[in-house]
Amino acid sequence: MTLTLLRARVLDFHADPAETDDNHRYFPDGAILIDDGRIVAVGDYASIRRKGAVEIDHRPHLILPGFVDPHIHFPQVQVIASWGAQLLDWLQNYTFPEEARFADDDHAEAMAGRFCDLLLMHGTTTACAFASSHPGSVDALFTAAQSRGMAMLAGKVMMDRGAIPEVHDTAQSSYDDSNALIARWHGRGRLNYVITPRFAITSTPEQLEAAGALARENPHLHIQTHLSENLAEIDHTLSLYPKARDYLDIYDHYGLLGPRSLMGHAIHLSAREVALMAETGTRAIHCPTSNLFLGSGLFDDAGLRAAGVVTGVATDVGGGTSYSLLQTLNEAYKIAQMRGVNLHPLAAFHWATRGNAIALGMADRIGTLVPGSDADLVVLNARATPAMALRAERIETLAQELFLLQILGDDRAVAQTYVAGKPMRPAA
């Protein structure tokens, strides 16, 4: 048994700063004791230190729970930064042709390793990812995550129309392939299979029926899809499902709502849809860099929360423009500004850690430093670049430091990432 002791300034959250003042604990000379990949104790260094523990000193940096990214597309690692289109054209012109390349298992394998390493370089220790429609892409992603010890949630996208033949499956094959992947991967180590109908435009009613059957037969599984991201998307969706009252009604009709259902984007919603999300516990996942990049719209986090909807915040690479949850929080701050809301840095960092873990229903294992949690951690350096170091000279409070990280930080501010107690980056 090897005990590891990380020494640094230590921060985590036990409540949402948007809801209560008693929300975090901060140890200026803190430590985290780790045994066999789990957190054993957290507190002041003087009280936590143990004889025989291997000590790693990260002072003066700040340790938090690793970032959680609840919406990202693994086969879009070479789509990110594609010019000049809004959602539907962006999908047709760039995304579907690129995802077609994941029919090749060798390509999928090569990209999966790069994808996981990019997440870790950016301090993200858990992601909920869309793979391509090819089952081999899920095998590649889970294999790469497993070899790194990461908690990964992922599923093959179900899409039987509306794209290009190379990425189309059928209602039956998507059901069969998803079932085989569930049997092969779900619950293996830290891996979770996610039922993944891409969105209503690329699924026939028969396929959404199949997704609903998978959900009924596997009630413990997450479901991920997209909802009301773009106005042209909404029009097209409602023309394909003319009997639906609104976009969310389609997913409701096929039994796809609930606290394990993650709706990417959820921007242009009616009051009825917001109320139904709250009533069913369905999650709304904000994707700020993507929403600005694709010109989709301004997510109403305050309105959704006030209505009782649980929200997460995600990168949505490759519609999103950064793997960094810090940069994602930067853009979330600006979108909130456009809506007349100030996103406080404590609330922002809560959102990217415990908040996203709650959105995924996984806060008992990730997102905090509570003993028993997996030792998934990010070590942040608020002086990582010359501009950050200069600004940091005038910083006096923890909140100011967090805001500096949120606005100016990216992967350069990640000094180290730990997955189940193991360092994943070369020592800085």
Answer left, alpha or beta for residue 186, where phi above 0 means left and psi between -120 and 50 means alpha: beta
In the complex, residue closest to Zn ion by CB: 264
374 binds, among ligand GUN, Zn ion, none (CB under 5 to 8 A by kind): none
Q: Closer CB to ligand GUN, residue 112 or residue 314?
A: 314
Write the interaction track for ligand GUN spanning residues 172-211; mark x where CB under 6 A is met and - where it is not.
Answer: --------------------------xx------------
**Listed ranges 9-17, 50-58, 118-126, 259-267: which one lies at the site for Zn ion (CB under 5 A):** 259-267
The distance of closest approach from Cβ of residue 5 to ligand GUN in the complex, given in angstroms and rounded to an integer, is: 42
With CB under 5 to 8 Å by kind, the binding choice for 301 among Zn ion, ligand GUN, none is: none
Give residue number: closest CB to ligand GUN: 319
d(CA 416, CA 381): 9
CB 253 within 8 A of CB 244: yes
- Binding ligand GUN (rule: CB under 6 A), the pick from 160, 169, 177, 229 is 229
Position 197 contacts Zn ion (CB under 5 A): no
Contact region with ligand GUN (CB under 6 A), list: 87-95, 170-178, 186-194, 406-414: 87-95
How would you class 3 by CB atoms within 10 Å of its CB: exposed for 0-12, middle for 13-18, buried for 19 or more? middle
C-beta atoms surrounding 240 within 10 Å: 17
Q: Which residues pair with 374 in a beta bridge?
A: 38
> What's the token pair of residue 28?
């200026």
Question: Going by DSSP bridges, is the β-strand pair 67-73/24-35 parallel, antiparallel, or unpaired?
Answer: unpaired
Among positions 252, 273, 316, 411, the unique one binding ligand GUN when judged by CB under 6 A: 316
Is residue 264 close enough to count as binding Zn ion by CB under 5 A? yes
Write the secondary structure of 262-310 as one string of H (helix), E (strand) and C (coil).
EEEECCCCCHHHHHHHHHHCCEEEECHHHHHHCCCCCCCHHHHHHCCCC
Q: Cβ of residue 100: shortest distance to ligand GUN, in angstroms?
A: 13
226 binds ligand GUN (CB under 6 A): yes
Nearest approach in angstroms of CB 130 to ligand GUN is 7
Secondary structure element (H or E) that encloses residue 109, with its range: helix 105-121
3-state SS, residue 302: helix
Per CB under 5 A, 312 contacts Zn ion: no
* Binding residues for Zn ion, total number by CB under 5 A: 2
Structure-token pair, residue 389: 């170091």
Q: Which two tokens stand for residue 237?
A: 């969706």
Interacting partner of 95 out of Zn ion, ligand GUN, none (Cβ under 5 to 8 A depending on kind): ligand GUN
**End-to-end CA, the chain:** 26
Instruction: Tell me the C-alpha distance between 264 and 251, whole Å.
Output: 13
Binding positions for ligand GUN, rule: CB under 6 A: 73, 87, 91, 95, 198-199, 226, 229, 290, 316, 319
